[in-house]
Amino acid sequence: MLKQRIITAVILLALFLPAFFYPDASLLGALSLAFIGAAVWEWAKLNQLKTFVSMVLAALCVLICLFIWDRGMLDSNWRQLWLGVGCLWVMGSLYIIRIGVSGWQSINPIVRVIVGLMVLIFTWCAIYQAKSMSTNLIFTMLALVWVADIGAYFFGRAWGKRKLAPAISPGKSWEGVWGGMFCVFVLALIWMQIEESLAWNSPSLFKLLWKHGWLYGLMSLFFLSAMSVVGDLFESLVKRSTGAKDSSQLLPGHGGVLDRVDALLTALPLSMMLVLL
């Protein structure tokens, strides 16, 4: 299993690193779109749709994203749209987690599929727009989620006692959540110091948030860290509703695409909302 995880991780790095540092967003947009299409297929399968229907939905998602891209809509000012998406994400995800696994199963399957389709389309749009604005921005948006997740894992293993949501994800603890947030704050401080000393022209997520004041920056990091956990819980709830351990086996040793991007589904659109406010 460890060997598979390492090989898959190396292949993913080889694919995505050149895309991150490519001059414009086209390469990362195309590559991430393929993964978003795969995630839609997984989402449809988790909601118990047949393979052919799942493939049709994945193709539909890709076509919608390509239409948005081709029409130049991603170059427009999405400030109000991201605000609306952010508000819907916060209210919707917290509602779904509150109703739990049984409540999710009671929602009409068509509604569940549409929700997943829209979430993944906006995640891809956030990736493309963030890369268009700054390579440092998209990288630090991802780094925030990675560091929050890693910090939560280690703090939870060391000191975790109070369960966060045992009915959805028994391994998560409140101590892990606070530990992940602490790691994010440390990352932000270190990153901004390096950014200032090297005089980077490409602004990071942290710099863009801090330009509105330190209080806005701190509250934004707290909010994004918390919502990345919500995204993780959301996907865990969907998997638990069907008894699945992983969203698929598309990424050997890692599970599926959704297993790797679950926290990004909330963090990326909400990061765009906070940056553009």
Q: Where are the beta strands (DSSP E) in the chain?
A: 163-165, 169-173
- Cross-strand pairs, 99: none
Instruction: Say whether pLDDT at 246 is over 80.
Output: no
Count of structural domains within the chain: 1
Q: What is the mean pLDDT of residues 213-220?
A: 93
pLDDT at position 143:
93
Banded model confidence at residue 1, pLDDT cuts 50, 70, 90: low
Q: Write out the residue range of the structural domain in which residue 193 sits.
A: 2-276
Q: What is the mean pLDDT of residues 160-189?
A: 89
pLDDT at position 3:
66
pTM, two decimals, is 0.92
- Tokens 């109000």 map to which residue? 80
Across all residues in the chain, what is the average pLDDT?
A: 88
Phi, psi of 161 (to 5 degrees): -130, -40
Q: Where are the beta strands (DSSP E) in 89-198?
A: 163-165, 169-173
Q: What's the token pair of residue 224? A: 């994004």
**117-153 core/surface letters (b: 16 or more CB in 10 A; e: else):** bebbbbbbbbbbbbbbbbbbbbbbbbbbbebbbebbb
Instruction: Say whether pLDDT at 154 is over 70.
Output: yes
pLDDT digits (tens, 9 = 90+) for 6-57: 777 788 888 888 888 888 899 999 999 999 999 999 999 888 888 899 999 9
- Tokens 């998560």 map to which residue? 172
